[in-house]
Structure 1
Amino acid sequence: MGIREKTQEIVNLMTVEEKAQVCVGKNFWEIEGVSRLGINSIKVADGPHGLRKQSADADHLGINESVPATCFPTASLLASTWNRELIHKMGNALARECVAEDVSVLLGPGVNIKRSPLGGRNFEYFSEDPFVSSEIAIAWINGVQELGVGASLKHFAANNQEYRRMLIDTIVDERTLREVYLSSFEETVKLASPSTVMCAYNRLNGTYCSENKWLLTDVLRDDWLYKGVLITDWGATNDRVKGLTAGQDVEMPGVNDENIHKIISAVESGKITMKELDGTVGRVVSLLLEKNNNHKSDFGNFKAEHHKLAREIASEGIVLLKNDGILPLSKNDKVAIIGNMAWSPRYQGSGSSFMNPTQLDTVYECLKSRIENDEGVYFSKGYIDDDIINQQLVDEAVSVAQSASVTCIFVGLSESYESEGFDRTELTLPKSHENLIKAILHVTSNVVVVLSNGAPVCMPWKEEVSAIIEGYLSGQAGASAMLDIIFGDINPSGKLAETFPEETEVSQYFKGSKKSILYKENIYVGYKYYDRFGGKVAFPFGHGLSYTTFDLWDNEVIINYADGIFDGVTASINLSNIGHRKGKTVVQAYVSAVDGKVHRPLKVLGQFEKIELEANESKRITLELKKRAFEIYNTKTKRWHVEPGRYNILIGFSSVDLPLKAQIDIPVEMSDGEVELTKADQFYIQSYDQRLQISDQEFLELYGLQAHLDDIYNRQNYDLNTPIYEMRKTIIGSLLMLVIKVGVKVNMRKQKNAGMKKMIASIIEEVTLRNLVMMTGGIITHKMTESFLVMSKNGFFTGLRHFLKKSDR
């Protein structure tokens, strides 16, 4: 009997109570089974760059310790490998470790778009470009799932900031959603079929993602034909009954049985039909049956192998941003290693993905083991604290630099600068790091700056140094990989999957109230914004240098047809390594609509391929650009649309280094026809010659959207999602704030990680009454929070009567 038939048999045997139970997590890290029928619960665990299975007290923020597992590089570096096969291998490794720890579903990957370089969780997302994001995610998921472990694609959808992420209303027009923020999810769902998709915390155009029927059912299930299980992010459920009818399958975590009773009551009253409930239950039971077949294996058999793989991945994702010829270093160079990050590396993000590595390489220890004696290598920490300049350490570092022929300065962003839970306000490096670089540049220009950070930083010294290496957050073997690059054991091949701005120039992003954020930049995100509206770029999307030189020539583009209709193009080019050593590069193909009527980016990435060539080797490369690269989303017909007209196919090594161009013409009869211009088209086309300026009200009127633009919380309009901080002037609000602050202080005392501390502190102003249920493990119930709400609006005794009246169920 197949899983489909077995599923139906089990669903038919289940009681309404059992059906309701599988719709709510068994506990913090398990999806409930059906024990009476022999269906076990299954375990899930955080990812996505390594297994974070907590061995003791559970929490969703990464506060408590987890079992040792391989810490691979974070998503920002994974994307900069542009290597599908390598990420697939990483997926296999992650799956083996999950099986070893009896974990059935790994919570990752995250494919949310990097809307702004200031996003606090950008290290956990792949790219500003949906094509790169989906291609890397597909490889990751296929690698995980082919060994029987499920993936959980997250965070669905438009979850692009950490500030007030649990209650912010993301206001986005449909075309922007489809072309930018949903596109990476769409392709990944269609081509990788992740076992689960995870709902985001935020609202989307007025409705929480966890109960947004348009998002969960109309788009995900009906448009994309997704058959898997929809789970919530931990604590993302707003209304469990509305969530279920909208398409949400499993609420995570399970903290008490209140929502189980609500589902049962809703079935009895007819708010939930038995067909709706059985549809949800059927999907969950299918997942349980599929994942109950996994067998635990021995992790120790592949620990060393996975560390080696982590080193290989890091070496392919490290990006050489600048090099005037100083790299790679030779054995004759007298090298100064300066910067505390050479001793205490920043190698992973902070928050729910923070994990316990099986081992950890450091530049200092790895370099000591590479050299026979200390001659020719000098060390100095240069700084300890991020924001306090220790002049004695700086003077010592300057002295060391004067003794060396080449100085490598290790700097970056510490945990307190970027983490889940809060966003950055500037792109600058810590004060002590910047000061150290400037001080050393006073005595030598033979400086290599090595960066450890999860997202772009400003580099005001960029023109003064000899080389810059972007190491990102490179995992437990990142230090070894970095030394492989610096000393030339490996030829760098990483390419940026995001734009590095020249300065903190994000005024067009992240503007909004405490309640709503308006995506006024429309489809112009990342390189698409800078292409269309200008702005200073330090390093462009797709950029990355090598120790060899590549050349492209002799391009040919052929149009593909499907039943006489345009179906993409095949581009063929010659790639040559004209340098003196073997190396890899990424050939990138972009599509530019020359005379399309609809407003659109100047170009979009259509395809890429990572190629390795020996010195003086040439190879004919073929790139298949799918139809989607030429399409826009037609909001009037509600479908994807190819405009007729001329298109340029631009091929090269970054979004601004595109030496080859070929032109094609798509006649009306091969296209989807002319598109009727919308008001938005007319507005943006008129604005092309200027920097994009649009008021909040104009934006809302242009798309027929609504949003709360004020920051005022009126007492009579309080609800369960009003931050308790905003209720602090009420008696119950002040008492709850006192409890929250005490809880924050207790948790902060447990922490040594600065990012964790800052993340914990950030919740003080963002905790809502609804959040209290999960945060207390169900000790505070939904009934209590409803009564607290009445107390805040109508007084203590009115709220107490409300609680007593409602306490019969």
Structure 2
Amino acid sequence: MTDRIEQLADQMTLDEQVAILSGEDFWSVPAIDRLGIGKLRVTDGPNGARGGGSLIGGVKSASFPVGIALGATWNIDLLKQVGVALADEVKSKGAHMLLAPTVNIHRSVTNGRNFECYSEDPILTAELASAYIAGLQSQGIGATIKHFAGNESEIERTTISSEIDERSLREIYLVPFEWAVKKAGTWGVMSSYNKLNGTFTSEHNWLLTTVLRDEWGYDGIVMSDWFGSHSTAETVNAGLDLEMPGPTRDRGNKLIDAVNAGTVSRATLRRRVVDMLTLMQRVGSLDDHRDFVEHANDRPEHRALIRRAGAEAAVLLKNNGILPLKGDGTIAVIGPNAKTAQIMGGGSAQLNAHYRISPWQGLINALGQERLRYAPGCTNHRFEPLLRGDLQVAYFDNERLEGAPVHIGTQEEAQAFWIGHVAEGKVDPMHFSARITGSFTPEVSGTHRVGIYAAGFAKVFVDGELIADAWTNWTKGRTFFEEGCDEVVGTVELQAGRAHQVVIEFATKDFATLGLAAFAAGIGLPLGDQAIAEAAALAATAETAIVCIGRSGEWDTEGSDLPSITLPGRQNELVAAIARANPNTIVVLQTGGPVEMDWIGSVAALLQAWYPGQEAGNAIADVLTGAAEPTGRLPQTFPARWSDNPTQSQDAEIYPGLDGKVRYEEGIFVGYRHYDRHGIKPLFPFGFGLGYTDFTLSDLQVDDTAFEADGAVTVTVTLTNSGARDGASVVQLYVCDDEASDPRPEKELKAFAKAWLKAGQSTQLTLRLDARAFAFFRPQSKHWLLENGSFTLRLGQSSDDLPLSASVTRATTLMLPV
């Protein structure tokens, strides 16, 4: 704390102190003009910087690979480079902080937000998050690591209580946050929506003060997730510095009254104020009095980084020698994700990308269009395809579509996400109605499906007839962060080439937690057996078939968990049909996590490409053609069946939750720890990935001279590229406690290193373990315990491929502080 911060805190009136502890609007904290204190601005991340616009549209931004894709790189240096680049993006949007990274653990395989998080493993997540934060903050932009803590599912996430024992918290779920504080020095932490063991995290004194500040020594700020504050005195006293967004719900006059009544002390208030002023000084907003301007900076160096990171994220899961692509024969490019660029997941991570490269376009760029043939085969959308075109929007300053419109606007697509400033400020954003008018001209005659879902009331009329009604019997569903209804679908006969009038009526409704109004409407024509048959016929005439399948941000999204890990629609049928027609079938899978694959034995190759950002198609083509080496490794175990995953249970309280609770019954046995414990063979293990070259490990050496004294061990190993191509491998070191007094996993990842080697080259890698790498947490005595006895170190290239091992032994126990 500087003298200037102390002086400013003392010079502020009570009203001014309270003012900077809550948002002024959706993205900023107010300036205090009297004292020359500038406005603090934040922007959503973590795979870009959206700026102050809505989730839909707005100033364009660079779209980077999503969290699970970056997790698959296992590349600490790359994550730091991404952090540095994202700092540029934040600055282009006139902001000072990025709401990122997201580090919640992949507890279940169906969490809708797994795509945004790095891994199922706390050490892999912590290493990558720390590098990302270091890169970001090296450029003066604040990180806001989230969501602290226990937000491992999107079901009832704003109200549910995550029931997690302290040992599991300490060993699994808190580790990335602890490293972010102790190793990366993060300037911001965001509390989660959920309760933790019965108390909202935004007012959880043990979490925000005892652990975060007292034990870890955190000196940054804690902000609420948007509308995640639920009280006044309780949040301030527990350690929540900033309520977001504004206008405030819980602070302002309520906090002034609490201070005057003595329920919040002046000393506590001052601590919160000093935290905020310190942050403002760190990020430069204290003296930032510039006009707020956003820019769409499409930087060549960011394009190149995104393409390289997207390719490095791709995990080659199977290859019968067909990749990299060879020859000059025809290639059938098939599937719902072939001509659609699936670049990101859904929710607050969405942004308006500078551009989107589809796999089809990426292959054209790499190979030329002459060799390529295309067929869709089937669809995989969750909602009917969005209606696009020239749409007129009439806004009414009431919720009944009555009177003359107060504003007329236009849109290019039938969706809106209204927050804050609506209709140029001419309506109350929570109390208005709108009529959207446009047309739809189908390419094919037939029975079309018309869908609508909304956080509000909505209807769709086609040629004057009500087709889809999400108004009359509106029911809360799993859209728009659980503020919206599920899609309501009706059918209508439409004629090819005819412009059919479409009218959408919308009105706001009371919200549950998040103050927003939104809708999306679409029209689609289902694809049937003929489309699969046509795709198979095309594949039969080609030398190679590339099937682009998976999900999209409609499925992998904040606010909604997946219903299963079965591929949506008829994609499994499509892959099976293509594989029967052509033995040289390559599957490119784009999802935010695992799927069941009954067809895996019948395809020649499988590439998991995730959502790799705006350069998606180019990155995928780079790997398929061999222009880039596949060096990604799985950051999440892929089970053979959904029922194999750690949260599968007959007890609904374990997952998805029951009566307001979700119980983490599996404790520390998440991810590969679960599969090891139960002897379940996964489809693909944690850390697995193939390449276009081969690597061998040899000459394992262990220096345990300091193990007895302080628990430190140094491991060296020789990695050799024994193949014919340059490439990279990830060396993974797991620790096994041979005889523990408390139940422990069979093995735990504690260190890793990624190395790039030319063909035939060798290098010696050094991996260091500290005492915590061998210890487990004892909740009864509140310390980490490194027991006496032997520990086995296992080293290899995946959790299921650990050919080298060594043993270290201690004669005494060692207790470590929290």
Which bracket does the TM-score occupy, shorter chain normalised?
0.7 to 0.9
Distance 1:535 1:240 in 2: 48
Q: Residue 357 of structure 1 aligns to a residue in which SS?
A: coil
- Indicate conservation of the 8 Å contact 1:155/1:199, yes or no: yes
Q: How does 1:585-734 map to 2 (within 5 A)?
A: 585-668=729-812, 671-672=814-815
Structure 1 residue aligned with 2:633: 495
Query: Deviations 1:111-163 (Å, cap 9, x if unpaired)?
Result: 11111011011001111100011111011111111111111000000111100
Q: Is 1:180 paired with 2:325?
A: no
CA distance in 1, matches of 2:209, 2:734: 32
Q: Is the 8 A contact 1:560 1:566 kept in 2?
A: no
Question: Which residue matches 1:706?
Answer: none
What residue is the counterpart of 1:448 in the other structure? 586
**In the alignment, what sits opposite 1:764?**
none
CA distance in 2: counterparts of 1:229 and 1:385, whole angstroms: 42
Q: How does 1:285-300 map to 2 (within 5 A)?
A: 285-290=277-282, 291-292=284-285
Residue 376 of structure 2 corresponds to 381
Question: Aligned match of 1:318 in 310, 314, 319?
Answer: 314
- Report the AA paired with residue 10 of structure 1: L
Aligned residue among 198, 208, 211 for 1:219 = 211
State the partner residue of 1:582: 726
Point out the more displaced range, 278-287 or 339-348.
339-348
> Residues 6 and 560 from structure 1, CA distance in 2 versus in 1: closer, same or farther, beyond 3 angstroms?
farther
Q: Give 2:560's aligned residue.
A: 422
Residue in structure 2 matched with residue 147 of structure 1 by the alignment: 139
- Larger deviation, residues 411-420 vs 67-76: 411-420
1:24·1:253 contact (CA, 8 Å) conserved in 2? yes
Is 1:303–2:447 an aligned residue pair? no
Query: Separation in 2 of the partners of 1:415 and 1:366?
Result: 20
Letter of the structure 1 residue corresponding to residue 639 of structure 2: P
Q: Determine which of 316, 338, 347 is the counterpart of 1:351.
A: 347
Q: 2:605 aligns with which of 467, 486, 499?
A: 467
Cα deviations by residue, 1:151-197 (Å, 9 ceiling, x for unpaired): 10000001111000000011111101111111111111111111110
Distance, in Å, in 2 between the alignment partners of 1:261 and 1:527 is: 50
Please say if residues 45 and 52 of structure 1, whose CA atoms lie closer than 8 Å, have aligned partners that are also in contact: yes
- The more displaced of 244-253 and 424-433 is 424-433
Amino acid at match of 2:43: A
Judge conservation of contact 1:99–1:297 (CA < 8 Å) in 2. no
The one-letter amino acid paired with 1:305 is E
Q: For the residues of structure 1 that align with 2:560 and 2:256, how far apart are their CA atoms?
A: 38
Among 527, 545, 548, the alignment partner of 2:690 is 545
- Alpha-carbon separation, structure 1, partners of 2:381 and 2:174: 37
Match of 2:678 among 526, 533, 540: 533
- Shift of the 571–461 alpha-carbon distance from structure 1 to 2, 3 Å rule, reads same
Q: Secondary structure at the match of 2:10?
A: helix
CA shift at 1:609, angstroms? 0.5
Of the candidates 104, 126, 130, which is equivalent to residue 134 of structure 1? Answer: 126
Q: Which residue of 1 aligns with 2:263?
A: 271
Distance 1:168 1:300, change over 3 A: closer
**2:780 is paired with a residue of what secondary structure?**
coil
Counterpart check, 1:6 vs 2:15: no
Structure 1 CA distance for aligned equivalents of residues 574 and 347 of structure 2: 29
C-alpha displacement at 1:568, in angstroms?
2.3
Q: How far has the Cα of 1:301 moved from its partner?
A: 6.6
Whole-angstrom distance in 2 between the partners of 1:257 and 1:134: 34
Residue in 2 aligned with 1:81? 73
**Identical counterparts, % of pairs:** 36
CA 1:302–1:420 in structure 2 vs 1: closer, same or farther (change >3 Å)? closer
Aligned residues: 662
Change (3 A) 1:298 1:118: closer
> Which of 377-386 and 145-154 deviates more?
377-386
Q: Distance in 2 between matches of 1:84 and 1:618?
A: 21
**C-alpha distance in 2 between matches for 1:568 and 1:297:** 51
Query: What is the TM-score of this pair, normalised by structure 1?
Result: 0.80
- For 2:532, what is the secondary structure of its paired residue? helix
Aligned mates of 2:111, 2:700 — CA distance in 1: 38
Of residues 251, 254, 261 in structure 1, which corresponds to 2:253?
261
Question: How far does the alpha carbon of each residue in 1:56-82 deviate from its partner, in whole angstroms, 9 at most, with x for none?
Answer: xx5xxx3x3232111001000001001
Q: For 2:149 and 2:121, how far apart are their aligned partners in 1?
A: 15
Counterpart of 1:513, as a letter, is L
Q: Which residue in 1 is equivalent to 2:48?
A: 50
Q: In 2, are the aligned partners of 1:100 and 1:298 still within 8 Å (CA)? A: yes
Report the CA distance between 1:54 and its aligned residue. Answer: 3.0
Counterpart residue type for residue 401 of structure 1: A
1:513 partner SS: coil
Q: CA deviation at 1:468?
A: 0.6
Q: If each structure's helix is expressed as a fraction of its own residues, which one has the higher value?
A: 1
Partner SS for 1:192? coil
> What is the alpha-carbon distance in structure 1 between the residues aligned to residue 84 and residue 700 of structure 2?
36
CA distance in 2 between partners of 1:44 and 1:21 (Å): 16
Q: Deviations over 1:607-654 (max 9, x none)?
A: 000001111111111111222211101112201111111101100000
Specify the SS of the correspondent of 1:68.
Answer: coil
* Aligned 8 A contact 2:721 2:761 in 1: yes
Aligned to 1:164: 156
Q: Does residue 248 of structure 1 match 2:246?
A: no
Distance 1:483 1:357 in 2: 20
Partner of 2:406: none
Q: Secondary structure at the match of 1:45?
A: strand
**Residue pair 1:20, 1:260 contacting (<8 A) in 2 also:** yes
- Conservation of the 8 A alpha-carbon contact between 1:33 and 1:288: no
Pick one of 115, 125, 128 that aligns with 1:123.
115
Offset at residue 414 of structure 1 (A): 2.6
Match of 2:96 among 100, 104, 108: 104
Determine the C-alpha separation between the residues in 2 that align with 1:440 and 1:612. 36
Q: Which amino acid aligns with 1:350?
A: G
**Cα deviation per residue 1:218-276 (whole Å; 9 max; x = unaligned)?**
00000110000110000110112100000000000112476211111111111111110
CA contact (8 A) 1:587 1:610 kept: yes
Shift of 1:418: 2.2
- Deviations 1:71-100, CA, capped at 9 Å, x for gaps: 001000001001111111111111011112
d(CA) in 1 for partners of 2:187 and 2:369? 52
Residues 446, 391 of structure 1: alpha-carbon distance in 2 compared, 3 angstrom cutoff: same
| One-letter amino acid matched to 1:415 | G
Structure 2 CA distance, aligned partners of 1:331 and 1:72? Answer: 32
Kindly state the Cα deviation for residue 366 of structure 1 after the two structures are TM-superposed: 2.6
RMSD over aligned CA atoms reads 1.8
Q: 1:450–1:470: 8 Å Cα contact kept in structure 2? A: yes
Q: TM-score, normalised by structure 2?
A: 0.79
Aligned-pair CA distance for 1:297: 10
Match of 1:435 in 2: 573
Counterpart contact for 2:587–2:605, Cα < 8 Å: yes
Letter in 2 for 1:425: P
Contact 1:389–1:431 at 8 Å: present in 2 too? no
In structure 2, the partner of 1:760 is none
What CA distance in whole angstroms lies between the structure 1 residues aligned with 2:685 and 2:379?
A: 32
Structure 2 partner of 1:363 = 359
Letter of the aligned partner of 1:246 in structure 2? A
Partner residue, 2:324: 328
CA deviation after TM superposition for structure 1 residue 372, in Å: 4.6
**Change beyond 3 A, Cα 1:414–1:511:** closer
Distance in 1 (CA, whole Å) between partners of 2:99 and 2:297 is 24
Contact kept in structure 1, 2:630 and 2:691, CA below 8 Å: yes
Higher strand share: 2
* Match runs of 1:747-758 below 5 Å: none
Give the whole-Å Cα distance in 2 for the aligned partners of 1:237 and 1:48.
Answer: 22
Structure 1 residues 746-769: Cα deviation after superposition (integer angstroms, max 9, x where no partner) = xxxxxxxxxxxxxxxxxxxxxxxx
Mapped contact 1:386–1:433 kept (Cα < 8 A):
no
- 1:353 & 1:197 partners in 2: Cα distance? 17
Structure 1 residues 48 and 217: alpha-carbon distance in aligned structure 2, compared to 1, 3 A threshold: same
